[in-house]
Amino acid sequence: MTAGAEAIPAPVQEKLAALGLTHITPRPDGPHGIRVLRAMSTSGPVIVTAMTSPPRSAAGAWHRAEQQAHRTAATEGCLINRPAMRYADDTITVFDHLEGAPLSADRYAPELQAATVIRVLDQLEALYSWKPDSLPTDTPEVERQLAKFRAAGLLTPATDAAVRVFLNNKPALRPELGTVHTGLRASADNVWVSDLQRLAWRPAGYDWAQLQLRWGPANPWLGRELLQRAEHHGVAGTYTANFMLAAAREWLHIRNRPFDHRMIRVAADNVDLARTLLRRIYDTTH
């Protein structure tokens, strides 16, 4: 559940009032076109996502995707901890309020408590064991990405070949959040997943690659844990190929930030680590 900084349109305000929601407080985070609001219902606190853009905009697509993902999760037996969706229409969605505080979505987050990260990984395991019938499929445009990364000098021929082998040859697919680094909340003893907008069938390891990219640099044990889980599930190839693509995208995104030397250095280290892991898995399995 994410939000933008736009004013709340009058029709949305009227609808919130009709639903009996009071004490409405906007939150400042999120993409253009959607506001996230804290509010009170007669039974307790809720979170509302409210459209501030036309339904046919990109924000409208996100809004519909989030609602559909929650409906699918509710009707097809998804076991992850997530907020219950109380109400949904073409302009607003009302969710139960979640306890805890958001986990860092920043690039290269600081050191996190190992117990909290393990709870996140266990929640993802519950997601990956789910076999829904009605999720979209989102597979990467591997050749287009590889061409860009070759032009930037980020891929050796061996790395290029390994990514192709693992992601172009009918890779194992499973439900992946797509934005695992956002929408996570943690309390002292639990973790919730609130952002389901991009939930789809993807090559296995997509979410793990994002966690390694963002949390791995400050939590060195995480890389070992993720690789062990990937090997246990037989998806080490797709995981390391996903990590290679994610690390290369990240490097291209931040390479021209002249004053952020630490971020540039960590991004380069991620690329080196991804190359090493990918090559090791490829050499072991081929």
Q: What's the CA gap between 206 and 177, in Å, rounded?
A: 8
Residue range 150-166: mean pLDDT, rounded: 94
**What pLDDT shows up at residue 105?**
62
Residue 245 lies inside a defined structural domain of this protein: yes
Residues 91 and 121 both lie in one domain: no
Q: What's the CA gap between 188 and 119, in Å, rounded?
A: 11
**What pLDDT shows up at residue 6?**
52
Residue range 252-270: mean pLDDT, rounded: 86
Please state the domain count of the chain. 2
Residue 105 lies inside a defined structural domain of this protein: no
Residues 144 and 248 both lie in one domain: yes
Residue 181: pLDDT over 80: no
Residues 176 and 46 both lie in one domain: no
Final residue before a domain boundary, out of 67, 97, 127: 97
What CATH number has the domain bearing residue 234? 3.90.1200.10
Eight-class DSSP state of 133: S
- Surface-to-core class of residue 127, CB atoms within 10 Å of its CB (0-12 exposed, 13-18 middle, 19+ buried): buried
Residues 192 and 56 both lie in one domain: no
Long-range contacts of 268-275 (CB under 8 A, 24+ apart): 269/217, 270/212, 270/213, 270/216, 270/217, 271/154, 271/247, 273/216, 273/223, 273/247, 274/240, 274/243, 274/244, 274/246, 274/247, 274/248, 275/156, 275/159, 275/244
Residue range 261-271: mean pLDDT, rounded: 90
Residues 146 and 253 both lie in one domain: yes
Q: How far is CA 262 from CA 15, 16, 67, 210, in A?
A: 47, 45, 38, 19
**What pLDDT shows up at residue 4?**
40
- Surface-to-core class of residue 10, CB atoms within 10 Å of its CB (0-12 exposed, 13-18 middle, 19+ buried): exposed
Residue 164: pLDDT over 90: yes
Segment 39-97, tens digit of pLDDT = 999 999 999 988 887 777 778 888 888 899 999 999 988 989 999 999 999 889 999 99
Residue 150 lies inside a defined structural domain of this protein: yes
Residue 47 lies inside a defined structural domain of this protein: yes
Residue 3: pLDDT band by 50, 70, 90 thresholds?
Answer: very low
Chain mean pLDDT for the chain: 88
Residues 173 and 217 both lie in one domain: yes
**What pLDDT shows up at residue 249?**
95
Residues 75 and 118 both lie in one domain: no
Question: Which one is predicted more confidently, 245 or 264?
Answer: 245
Residue 107 lies inside a defined structural domain of this protein: no
What is the identity of the amino acid at 185? R
**What pLDDT shows up at residue 236?**
97
Question: Which one is predicted more confidently, 234 or 183?
Answer: 234
Residue 108 lies inside a defined structural domain of this protein: no
Final residue before a domain boundary, out of 62, 97, 132: 97
**What pLDDT shows up at residue 171?**
94
Eight-class DSSP state of 137: B
- The pTM (predicted TM-score) of the whole model is 0.88
Name the range with the highest mean pLDDT among 26-30, 47-51, 211-215: 211-215
Least confident range from 57-66, 171-180, 226-235: namely 57-66
Could you tell me the residue range of the domain that residue 130 belongs to? 114-285
Q: Per-residue b/e over 145-178, b at no fewer than 16 CB within 10 Å? A: bbeebeeeebbeeebbebbebbbeeebebbbbbb
**What pLDDT shows up at residue 29?**
59
Residue 246: pLDDT over 90: yes
Residues 35 and 125 both lie in one domain: no
What CATH number has the domain bearing residue 30? 3.30.200.20
Residues 179 and 50 both lie in one domain: no
Are the C-beta atoms of 174 and 128 separated by less than 8 Å?
Answer: yes
Residues 89 and 125 both lie in one domain: no
Segment 128-141, tens digit of pLDDT = 999 988 888 998 89
Q: How many CB atoms lie within 10 A of CB 205?
A: 30
Final residue before a domain boundary, out of 34, 63, 97: 97
Residue 155: pLDDT band by 50, 70, 90 thresholds?
Answer: very high
Question: Which one is predicted more confidently, 19 or 258?
Answer: 19
Q: Which residue has the tokens 């979209």?
A: 136
**What pLDDT shows up at residue 28?**
64
**What pLDDT shows up at residue 223?**
96
Residue 230 lies inside a defined structural domain of this protein: yes
Residues 63 and 199 both lie in one domain: no
Share of residues in the chain with pLDDT > 90 (%): 57
Residues 233 and 262 both lie in one domain: yes
Residue 197 lies inside a defined structural domain of this protein: yes
As beta bridge partners, residue 87 has 94
